[in-house]
């Protein structure tokens, strides 16, 4: 029997593919670092039965309507704002993502970013490298405390709760905002539920882990930054699109807020000329929230297992459900 054609939009290590080779006919964009060009992707999906894609691919209506055999799109990410879910549903194309396997790793990174921004770790490292360390001084590179400070988590889902567990270990009172309350987190972590504006006013650290949707686009705007404390530190590990970056730049440059740690940006990738990179009170990372070797491997395997389940006539393991 003819094996389903699976198009992989990036070069994937052979050892991940080997266990699935009897089930699938793999076609692959052979570059490790460069995304597949749009025109190539539009051409190859015409014959694909399944696609394994990354968040660098825009799986929009045009693409889905040009893919007559496509049954499943396995996205190597938990966020799926790069995919037109409505168009996929209309065409009966299953979309899967990679929840859970990346939760703890992303929470580790979020907390590292929080620590780095508060204690000026990157700036301090640059200080030594620039040969500037001559003496110990009382306020040399003095930052903000973390222990005992209030953390406000916007998007208290899987990753949000995992960040909250780390915060609890640091003795931080936890506040959160969602559309719905989480009694489990309130009981186990002592987390307090709050409206968005109240959280902004109260938190010393505002951490964004909210998915990018039409509702959350530019949620963190000028108005939001003005409500935060002047000592507040803003951390974003969700998607750049939830922030109005111009407003964030002005808030940081004019000391409306104190500092920021950012793993994600409105238009990725950014370079050294990006205005936010030029500010000393910002730590910028190249979207590495889930980037541990162990977790990236688990994400790829979960994509493969989702594809296998669908083509074996079973339910996908982690389907994206249209809210
Ligand atoms: P999740 O479990 O679905 O959590 C999302 C939370 O956001 C939910 O608790 C949800 O609660 C809340 N939420 C959604 N829409 C909201 C709205 N309009 N207003 C208020 N709260 C809202 O997702 P997760 O696994 O924790 O992942 C969260 C996000 O992190 C992903 O979507 C992705 O964008 C990002 N992420 C980034 C990286 C990285 O590399 N930086 C890695 C992994 C994930 P309610 O439904 O009750 O509102």
Would you give per-residue pLDDT tens digits along the chain (323 residues)?
899 999 999 999 999 999 999 999 999 999 999 999 999 999 999 999 999 999 999 999 999 999 999 999 999 999 999 999 999 999 999 999 999 999 999 999 999 999 999 999 999 999 999 999 999 999 999 999 999 999 999 999 999 999 999 999 999 999 999 999 999 999 999 999 999 999 999 999 999 999 999 999 999 999 999 999 999 999 999 999 999 999 999 999 999 999 999 999 999 999 999 999 999 999 999 999 999 999 999 999 999 999 999 999 999 999 998 76
Query: Peptide bond before 283: cis, by omega within 30 degrees of 0?
Result: no
**265 plus 221 within the same structural domain:** yes
For residue 50, the model assigns a pLDDT of: 98
Ligand 1 site, residue 216, Cβ cutoff 6 A: yes
What is the number of the ligand 1 atom nearest to the C-alpha of 160? 26
| Rounded-to-integer distance, Cα 115 and Cα 159, Å | 17
Residue 303 lies in a domain: yes
**167 plus 70 within the same structural domain:** no
Residue nearest atom 12 in ligand 1 by C-alpha distance: 155
Residue 149 Cα distances to 175, 202, 232, 235, angstroms: 11, 10, 10, 14
Residue 130 lies in a domain: yes
What H or E segment, with its residue span, contains residue 125?
Answer: helix 121-129
- Identify the CATH number of the domain in which residue 82 sits: 3.40.50.720
Residue 83 DSSP one-character state: B
Is the separation of the CB atoms in 285 and 262 below 8 Å?
A: yes
**90 plus 143 within the same structural domain:** no
Cα 210 to ligand 1 centre (Å): 4
For residue 323, the model assigns a pLDDT of: 64
Instruction: Write out the residue range of the structural domain in which residue 89 sits.
Output: 5-100+293-311
**251 plus 280 within the same structural domain:** yes
Residue 260 lies in a domain: yes
Residue 11 lies in a domain: yes
Q: In a 3-state reduction of DSSP, which class is residue 96?
A: strand
Residue 77 lies in a domain: yes
Residue 146 lies in a domain: yes
Cα 156 to ligand 1 centre (Å): 7
Residue given tokens 């500010």 in the structure block: 279
Residue 150 DSSP one-character state: P
Reported as a single tens digit per residue, the pLDDT across 231-290 is: 999 999 999 999 999 999 999 999 999 999 999 999 999 999 999 999 999 999 999 999
| Rounded-to-integer distance, Cα 71 and Cα 91, Å | 9
Residue 257 lies in a domain: yes
**134 plus 271 within the same structural domain:** yes
Q: How many domains does the chain have?
A: 2
Is the separation of the CB atoms in 76 and 54 below 8 Å?
A: yes
For residue 321, the model assigns a pLDDT of: 86
**271 plus 149 within the same structural domain:** yes
For residue 1, the model assigns a pLDDT of: 81
**255 plus 109 within the same structural domain:** yes
Ligand 1 site, residue 240, Cβ cutoff 6 A: no
**67 plus 214 within the same structural domain:** no
**141 plus 266 within the same structural domain:** yes
Ligand 1 site, residue 217, Cβ cutoff 6 A: no
Residue 193 lies in a domain: yes
**75 plus 94 within the same structural domain:** yes
Q: Which residues are catalytic?
A: 239, 268, 287
**96 plus 111 within the same structural domain:** no
Residue 284 DSSP one-character state: E
What is the number of the ligand 1 atom nearest to the C-alpha of 80? 32
Cα 108 to ligand 1 centre (Å): 16
**186 plus 216 within the same structural domain:** yes
Which of 172, 181, 179, 182 lies closest to 152 in space, CA to CA?
Answer: 172
């Amino acid at each position: 029997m003819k094996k389903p054609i699976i198009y992989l939009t990036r070069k994937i290590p052979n050892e991940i593919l080997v266990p699935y080779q009897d089930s699938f006919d793999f076609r692959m964009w052979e570059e490790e670092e460069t995304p597949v060009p749009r025109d190539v992707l539009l051409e190859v999906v015409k014959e694909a039965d399944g696609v394994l894609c990354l968040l660098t691919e825009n799986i929009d209506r045009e693409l889905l309507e040009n893919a007559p055999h496509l049954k499943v799109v396995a996205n190597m990410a938990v966020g799926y704002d790069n995919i037109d879910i409505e168009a996929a549903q209309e065409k009966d194309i299953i979309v899967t993502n990679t929840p859970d396997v990346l939760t703890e790793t992303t929470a580790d990174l979020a907390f590292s970013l929080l620590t780095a921004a508060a204690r000026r770790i990157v700036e301090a490292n640059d200080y030594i490298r620039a040969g500037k360390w001559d003496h110990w001084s009382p306020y040399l590179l003095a930052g903000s405390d973390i222990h005992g400070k209030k953390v406000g988590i916007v998007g208290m889902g899987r990753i949000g709760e995992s960040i909250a567990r780390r915060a609890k270990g640091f003795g931080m009172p936890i506040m959160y905002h969602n559309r719905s309350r989480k009694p489990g987190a309130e009981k186990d972590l002592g987390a307090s539920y709050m409206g968005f504006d109240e959280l902004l006013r109260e938190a010393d650290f505002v951490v964004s882990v909210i998915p990018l949707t039409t509702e959350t686009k530019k949620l963190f705007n000028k108005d939001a930054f003005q409500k935060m404390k002047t000592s507040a530190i803003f951390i974003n590990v969700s998607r750049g699109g939830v922030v109005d970056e111009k407003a964030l730049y002005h808030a940081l440059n004019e000391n409306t807020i104190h500092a920021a740690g950012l793993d994600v940006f409105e238009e990725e990738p950014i370079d050294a000329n990006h205005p936010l990179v030029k500010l000393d009170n910002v730590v910028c990372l190249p979207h590495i929230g889930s980037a541990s070797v162990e977790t990236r491997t688990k994400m790829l395997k979960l994509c493969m297992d989702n594809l296998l389940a669908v083509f074996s006539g079973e339910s996908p393991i982690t389907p994206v459900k249209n809210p």
